Every structure is written in structure tokens, then in C-alpha cells.
Amino acid sequence: MKKKPKKLFRALRHEYRLSLLKEASYEERFSLLLTPLNVILLVAACFFVVGGITYALTALTPLREYVVPGYIDEAYRKDAFHARQSADSVSIALTTQQHYLEQLQIILNGGTPSDSSLLAQNETLSTTELFFSLSDEDSALRARIAEEDRFSLRISGSGGVEERSSRGFLFKPVEGSLSSSFDPEIEHFGIDLVAPANSVITAALDGTVIMASFVSDGGHVIMIQHEGNMVTVYKHNSALFRTVGEHVKAGDSIAVIGNTGENTDGPHLHFEVWLRGVPVDPLQFLVFEQ
């Protein structure tokens, strides 16, 4: 048993001569001294060389698209990745829009949207961690608002709020210029009023606040429910003064004009009027001079 490996090794080392002879004269033209071990090593080397060349041709050249079954080009991979990203973005946008429509339907039906309750809960939980301090600008703004609230916005008389409400008119929410009109064909369900920075937004009519929250497209939004199944909406504010459930009078300060939310390109108020669940042109209810 111990002699078998030695015999095999000696057999592999036996020398053989490979000769090429001329057929007519048997003249030796070429000869090569070989052993079985040399032949095995030569065949293995040829196998690895051919395999390496084949791999390089299929992996590093365009031939892989035709040789490798099911191979996808890198450009197609990138296009598929971008398409998936776009599909995810569209899905998120549709989900956000659906959520907004659901909350709006709840508001029009007289309910309280979930955004407001979550905001109120977060404010309650984080109150102990807040440091309450007013800057000089905040103090000056609050003092100016308090001074404006002292004037006779609620009294009746010639052109007073009660008289305007009885005629079906609304109190103008802010003194500014009209930049965009009501156009439901492009889903612009209100008017845009441009006013100076820190202008105070006032309630257009007596009512109850049904939403005071932040949404992605409208920024800081406040909605007020009025008699006759009317709802007024004030969007893109920089700050809100009222909370859900609070009753306001026509002319009361409710917010400060701002530039919050996605659908805005500058400080302005987006003002909407909804009557029995349908958006209507606010200019039908406002005495407006451009």
C-alpha cells in the first residue's frame, strides 16, 4: 500500500518522446520530450487561460448582453431605479392629498380634523419643556394687535359689521391687493391677498374655529364655521392666535400673514369661502376695491 503512491509518482515522471516524421523518408522533423505530469500541467494551464479570456470577454464587453441569459443593462437598471423613486413620490403625494381631502370633508361636516387634535396633544406634552420668553418684536406685535382690537369692529351702524353680516357681506380679512382670483378649473378655490409683512388677519364673520393647525401645502391654516353652513379658510399664515373650539367675532384678530406651506411663493393670505360644502368666489361676499 505504501509503494502505490511512489509507483504512481514514478509513472507520472516517465519520459516519452513525441516525434514528427516525414512520411516518405521517415526523417525526424520535430521531437519533444514529455512526461504525463507535464501533459497534465499543460492542459490545466490551457484550461485556466481559456477560462480567463472567456470570462473577460463576457464580463467586461457588450457581449455579456447576448451571452448571459437574463442580463439587464446598467442603463435599464438606473431607469428602473428612477422610475421606482418617482412612483414612490407620486404615492406619497397621493396619500397626502387624500388625507387633506378627508380632513376637509370632516371640517365641512362640522367635525374636528385629526391634525388639530394631534397638534393640541403635542403642544400639551411638550409644554413642560418649553422656555416661554417674548422677544421685543413679539411684544410690539401683540401690543399693536391689542390696540387694534379696541376699535369698534363689532358695533352696528353705517357700514358696521353687524349691518354688513345682515346684508350677506363678509368683513375683509386683511387690507391688501388682490393677486389671484377664484378659479376652480385650476383648483384654486379662493383668492390671494397680498399685504405687508406682519399684517393682522381678522375673522370675516362671527363663528367658531374648527381647525387651527399646520398642513404641508397650506402652512398654518385656520378655519372658522359660521351660521348658514358657511366655512371660511385662511392659509399660509406665519402665526395663529386662536385654537379649535374658540368663538370669534367678525373683525377679531386670528392670525398673522405669512409664507408657510408648499403652495406659496411669497407672503400673502389665501382666503376661501365654502358654502354648504361647495367652494364659492369670496368676492361675492366682500366689498373689495383693487
What the block records as the C-alpha cell of 139 is: 411684544
Average pLDDT over residues 131-137: 59
Q: What is the mean pLDDT of residues 195-217?
A: 90
Kindly report which listed range (48-52, 126-130, 173-177, 278-282) carries the lowest average pLDDT score.
126-130
Stretch 179-204: mean pLDDT: 90
Task: State residue 261's pLDDT score.
Answer: 85
Q: Is the pLDDT of residue 188 over 80?
A: yes
Task: Read off the pTM.
Answer: 0.46
Q: Kindly report the CA angle at 169 between 142 and 234, in degrees rounded to 5?
A: 45
Confidence of residue 49 (pLDDT cuts 50, 70, 90): very high
DSSP string spanning the chain? -THHHHHHHHHHH--EEEEEE-TTT--EEEEEEE-HHHHHHHHHHHHHHHHHHHHHHHHHSTTHHHHSTT---HHHHHHHHHHHHHHHHHHHHHHHHHHHHHHHHHHHTT---HHHHHHHHHHHHTGGG------HHHHHHHHHHHHHTTSSSS--STT-HHHHHHTT-B--SS--EEEE--BGGGTB-EEEEE--TTPEEE-SSSEEEEEEEEETTTEEEEEEEETTTEEEEEEEEEEE---TT-EE-TT-EEEEEB--SSS-SSSBEEEEEEETTEEE-GGGTB----
pLDDT at 290 over 50: no
- C-alpha cell belonging to residue 156: 352696528
